[in-house]
Amino acid sequence: MDEVLVRTLADIVKVGAPIVLAAIGETITERSGVVNLSLDGSLVLSALAAFVAGISTDSVIIGILAGVSVGLAIALVVAVCSIELKLSQVAVGFVLTLLCRDLALFLGIPYRNAQVFPTTFLPIPVLKDIPVLGAIFFNQDLFTYLSFIAVIAAWWWLFRTKPGLTLRAVGERPQTAFARGVNVNALRYLYTAIGGGLVGLGGAAYTLGVLPTWSDTGVAGNGWIALAIVIFGGWYPLRVALGVYLVAGLRAIVTSVQAQVPPQVVELLNALPWLLMLLTLFIVSGPYLDRLLRVLPPRLHPLIRTVLRARPPSALGTIFEQEGRR
């Protein structure tokens, strides 16, 4: 296979890693019924935290822990406001995203373009020599490996384990889950925290892996992209990851033609991912899918729904209250 192509694919997977982590984290959170709109701000703030911690202690682990903690804390704020105070998740998330982004911009001033974090490049000895696949999957840095693990773990957990089934039920119809003995709100806290932690990890992936310095413009905006891809990917981890790589791929194409193409066209090309997502969602929404499903045999339904469906978990954004209880 062409050298350049392989290298490009490897790059796409590496550059996409932070967004994959954030998007998978958000997928998990939304599967439990909680919208964490603070994704963008959370990503930026945890990126800063990871960078500062990493630079001061010269340790990747500490940096990662810092990033994860910040992401987790912010997500928990959303969870507490929603579950305990019955506030709108969208409202709290939106305010938090602006607040965290501004906080990061402010606190990050002394660190602008200061130092560069040492590399976390970790090629795996034997596997990296496999043609094509080795270069893409096993010749990467720490965070890219973590992103692979996150995707597979999320998929496995959601669709192949009992607790994952419970998680899906909590996001779809919490009353039923409650009737089956599940503590709905406890699970929402848990998965929001896990999701937030993954977002924090994604932030760390930026400043300790991909960038790896602190700049104002590098990280901001990617959280919104991650949010959009969660919707576009239908809340299925594999589709979400694919969506991220698609967007990263489109960006790579744009970068590669940048030299030959006038700047105004470059900018318009940058809009492609969004337009593509809108178009696809428009076509795939509702009536067409149902019509298709009616024609096909039931055995195929799970597969078709996984591939094409883009309906959110039915209880997303809602507040769960037990009947008649105090």
Partner 1 sequence: MHVELRHITKTFGSVRANDALSLEFAEGRIYALLGENGAGKSTLMKILSGYQPPDSGTILIDGQVVTFQTPADALRCGIGMLHQDPLDVPNLTVLDNFMLGRREGLLPKRNAAREALAQQAGRLGFQLDPFRYVDSLTIGERQQLEIVRLLSLGARLLILDEPTTGISAEQKHALFSALKRLAAQEGMTIILVSHKLEDVAALCDEVYVLRGGKLVGHCQMPTPIEALVTLMFGQSLPRPTRSAHALGEEILRAEAVSLTARRLTVRDLSLSVRSGEVIGLAGLDGSGQSDFLRACAGLQALNSGRILLAGMPIHGKRYPELLRLGVAYAPSGRLEEGLVDGLTLTEHFALTAGNGVWINWRGAATLAAEQIARYNIRGAPHSPVQTLSGGNQQRALIALLPKNLRLLLLEDPTRGLDVESTAWVWQQLLARRDQGAAILFTSPDLDEIVTYSDRVLVFCEGKATLVTDLDDPSRNPVERLGELIGGKGFGGKDSWVAWRGGAAPR
Partner 2 sequence: MGRLARWRGAALTFSAALIAALTLIAVIMLSLDKAPLAAAQRFIEGAIGTPSARADVVMAALPMLLCAAGLLLTFTAGLWNIGVEGQVTMGAIFATIIARTIPRDVSDWGIFAALIVPTELLLAMLGGALWAGAAALLKIRGGINEIFGGVALNFFSVNILLSLVNGPWRVGTFPQTAPFAPAALLPRQPELRLSPLGIGIALAAFGAVFMALRSTRFGLQLRAIGRNARSAGILGVRVERNIFWAMVICGALAGLAGAFQALFTRGRLLPNISGGVGFMGVLIVLLTGVRAAWVLPVTLFFAVVPIGSLKLATSLDSAVQIDATLGNVFQGALVLAVLIGSGVRARLAARRERRSEHG
Residues 167 and 34: beta-carbon distance below 8 Å: no
Distance from the Cα of residue 326 to its chain's centroid: 36
Picking from 242, 291, 250, 246, the residue whose alpha carbon sits closest to that of residue 269 is: 250
Amino acid at 185: N
- For 121, phi then psi, to 5°, come to -70, 125
Residue 33's Cβ-count burial label (10 Å; 0-12, 13-18, 19+) is: buried
Query: Using the rule CB under 8 A, which residue among 162, 262, 291, 295 binds partner 1?
Result: 162
> Could you give the CA distance from residue 272 to residue 290 in angstroms, rounded to a whole number?
28
The interface mask with partner 2, positions 244-283, x = CB under 8 A, is ------------------xxxxxxx-xx--xx-xx--xx-
Q: Which is nearer to partner 1, 178 or 232 (CB)?
A: 178
Would the CA dihedral through 101, 140, 138, 251 be positive or negative?
A: positive
Could you say which residues in the range 142-201 bind partner 2, by CB under 8 A?
A: none
Query: Using the rule CB under 8 A, which residue among 11, 172, 216, 321 binds partner 1?
Result: 172
- HSE-up of 71 (CA within 13 Å, CB side)? 36
The first and second tokens of residue 307, run together, are 């591939």
Taking the CA atoms of the chain, what radius of gyration do you get in angstroms?
20
- Among the listed ranges 97-105, 152-160, 172-180, 234-242, the one in contact with partner 2 (CB under 8 A) is 97-105
**Minimum Å distance from CB 315 to partner 1?**
10
> Could you give the CA distance from residue 157 to residue 164 in angstroms, rounded to a whole number?
5
Residue 238 binding partner 1, by CB under 8 A? no
**Minimum Å distance from CB 259 to partner 1?**
48
**Minimum Å distance from CB 233 to partner 1?**
16
**Minimum Å distance from CB 212 to partner 2?**
23
The interface mask with partner 1, positions 283-312, x = CB under 8 A, is ----------x----xx-xx--x-----x-
# residues near partner 2 by CB under 8 A: 43
Query: Using the rule CB under 8 A, which residue among 4, 109, 259, 295 binds partner 2?
Result: 109
> Could you give the CA distance from residue 176 to residue 156 in angstroms, rounded to a whole number?
23
Residues 146 and 155: beta-carbon distance below 8 Å: no
The interface mask with partner 2, positions 217-236, x = CB under 8 A, is ----x--x--xx--x-----
Residue 161 binding partner 1, by CB under 8 A? yes
Residues engaged in binding partner 2 (CB under 8 A) = 37, 81, 84-87, 90-92, 94-96, 98-99, 102-103, 105-106, 109, 221, 224, 227-228, 231, 262-268, 270-271, 274-275, 277-278, 281-282, 285-286, 312, 326
